Amino acid sequence: MALDANNQLLVDTLEAAPLVDGRYENVKLVNYNSLNDVRRGCLSMVFGAFDTISQKKVALKFYDLSPALMHDQYRRAAFFREHELLERLITVDRCLQLVSLMSTFNLTVKHGSATLTLPCHYFAVEWIDNEVDAFFLSANKFSAVDKLRLFNEIVLSVETLHNHDIFHRDLKADNLRSYTEALKRTVVAIDLGTAARLDSGKIQIGYGSHVGARGYAAPEAIGGLTDNRRVAKYTDMYALGCLLFELFNMDYYFVAVRRKNHAFDTVIAAIASKITGTTDIEREQDWCTAMTPLAGGFTPVSIAEPGSSVPPGVVAILDEILSSLTNFDYRRRAHTLASVRQRVWSALRVLTNEQEYQRKLTQARKLKQLRREKVAAREAKISSRRVA
């Protein structure tokens, strides 16, 4: 979709301005591809710019000026909420940093002979260049150790948000960036457009659907608890589980889980149909009550699904992590991300210690062998019974 006239005017004005607000130069729209008229993100117009004060590249986030969104209370509130959350995270490591607080850029609009001034809200955040997409899309180029180290960093970035009672709610590879300092890679979760705090008020009553990417949305987020802050932590955990799976597998987790559980969406729909409460607690209770009988037949997805590149010696540990992050029942997901990292480190230790790896590998093979022997014994028993 082509940019509307308001946004186009904003883009033209900013890109033509030698210096915005007396400090930002070389302003360039970055979340819009003019070749195919596709824009990323739905709340804002994102510009890359050079900050002449900090001498660093920054991202300027302007509220969308399209007439359809300009007076949308929900989107406007979300835009301001993002800024508020970022304010709380100033100086917090592993978090996206504000470079300048919310300001207003006065856009001059000529309407016939009249001239109007349109106040445009924006704020600036640090520009983090490195995407982590390659780990997910060119997984074959990275070792299991590299992938787990990255995952550990991702968990740390989310854990930091959670430690400040902030829940991202749109975790996906696209919303992760990394930077390297002193040879150490740090991951930061960007785009807090849909993030919320535990005690932040709701900006919309009765969400129609999940917020954030559907491919990483937890069952409870798809099924009616989207706006429930009390479960938002677990929704982030679910997304982390999806990311872990995708580091080692060909398919998206969204696809893999539905391949193994054909009735996955039906079960969510069934549970959702039973949510009638009005308060968060009531709705949570409704969800849990309806889920207990309906989700019993859920078959977990293994980290070692067909086509997986996971080393066999760590399958058991990673399966444990995956299951603790993506359990259908959010109450059974990991309670803290610290415990997840501990297990990630266990896997890393196994992978970096050949002797330990061989021991785990033998253990896994023995387990499988034992099952085979049990089945063989049962088969022998049945054939002997037949002969008798």
Partner 1 sequence: MFLDKIPEDQPNLLVIGENVELVISEDETNPLAFILPPTEDLSEMDWLSNKNFSLKDLTSSYDEKNKDAFSDDFENLQRKIKKFDDSPVAFNRLANLAVLRGDLSLEAEYLQRASELSSDVFFAHRKGENLISRGLNREAEIAFSKLDTSTDYYANLRLASFEIWRRDYDKARALVANAVKLDPVEYGARLFEGALRLIDGEPAKAVHSFRIAIDDRPNSSVAYTNLAVAYVQLSLDEKAIASLKRAVALNPLNANALVMLADLTFKVGQDQDAVPALRYYVQFEQKSSAIWARLARALLEIRAYDESIDALKRQGSIEKSSAIWNNLGVAYHRKRDHGKSLSAFKYAMTFDNEKKGKNFFLAARNIAITLANEKQNEGLLKFIRMIFSFDEESLIIRDSTLADLVSLYIQTLAHMGEISLAAEISESMLRNQNVVSSLRIFAATGLLSFYSFRDKEQDRALQLAKESAEWLGLIDKKDVRLKERLINNIAYVFADNNRVPDAEIFLSKISHLIHKEPYPTSVLGLIHFRKGNVEKATGLYDEAVHLALDRSDKTRIRQKLYIELSNYWRLSDTARAKRFLIKAIEAKNGDKELINRARSLLLNSPAIL
Residue ranges binding partner 1 (CB under 8 A): 33, 36, 38, 40, 133-134, 136-141, 174, 209, 213-215, 222, 250-252, 254-255, 263, 265-270, 272-274, 293-294, 296-299, 306-307, 368, 371-372, 375-376, 378-379, 382
C-beta of 79: minimal distance to partner 1 in Å? 19
Q: Give the residue with the Cβ less far from partner 1, 99 or 139.
A: 139
Q: Give the residue with the Cβ less far from partner 1, 359 or 371.
A: 371
Q: Count Cβ atoms within 10 A of the Cβ of residue 376 and give its class: 0-12 exposed, 13-18 middle, 19 or more buried.
A: exposed
How many other CB atoms sit within 10 Å of the CB of residue 158? 26
Q: Give the residue with the Cβ less far from partner 1, 2 or 5.
A: 2
Question: What pairing do the DSSP bridges indicate for beta strands 24-29 and 32-33?
Answer: unpaired
Would you call 47 helix, strand, or coil by DSSP? strand
Would you call 279 helix, strand, or coil by DSSP? coil
C-beta of 110: minimal distance to partner 1 in Å? 34
Q: Give the residue with the Cβ less far from partner 1, 32 or 122.
A: 32
Nearest CA among 22, 192, 8, 4 for reference residue 105? 22
C-beta of 297: minimal distance to partner 1 in Å? 3
CA-to-CA distance for 63 and 122, rounded, in angstroms? 6
C-beta of 372: minimal distance to partner 1 in Å? 6
3-state helix, strand, coil in the chain (%, to 5): 50, 20, 30
Q: Give the residue with the Cβ less far from partner 1, 50 or 252.
A: 252
Q: Give the residue with the Cβ less far from partner 1, 195 or 295.
A: 295
Q: Give the residue with the Cβ less far from partner 1, 182 or 388.
A: 388
CA-to-CA distance for 83 and 89, rounded, in angstroms? 10
CA-to-CA distance for 195 and 168, rounded, in angstroms? 4
Bridge partners, residue 51, by sequence:
24, 56
C-beta of 69: minimal distance to partner 1 in Å? 16
Q: Give the residue with the Cβ less far from partner 1, 332 or 378.
A: 378
Q: Give the residue with the Cβ less far from partner 1, 105 or 245.
A: 245
C-beta of 338: minimal distance to partner 1 in Å? 29
C-beta of 333: minimal distance to partner 1 in Å? 18
Q: What is the number of H-type helices and E-type strands within the chain?
A: 13, 12
Distant-in-sequence, close-in-space partners of 146: CB < 8 Å, separation ≥ 6: 135
- Element (DSSP H or E) covering residue 140: none
Would you call 91 helix, strand, or coil by DSSP? coil
Give me the half-sphere count of Cα atoms (radius 13 Å) on the Cβ side of residue 51: 16
C-beta of 349: minimal distance to partner 1 in Å? 26
Look at the block and give the residue holding tokens 């890359």.
48
C-beta of 316: minimal distance to partner 1 in Å? 16
Give me the half-sphere count of Cα atoms (radius 13 Å) on the Cβ side of residue 244: 32
First to last CA, the chain: 76
C-beta of 44: minimal distance to partner 1 in Å? 16
Q: Give the residue with the Cβ less far from partner 1, 213 or 351.
A: 213
Q: Concatenated DSSP letters for 243-280?
A: HHHHHH-SS-HHHHHHHH-TTHHHHHHHHHTT---SSH
- Name the amino acid, one letter, at 285: Q
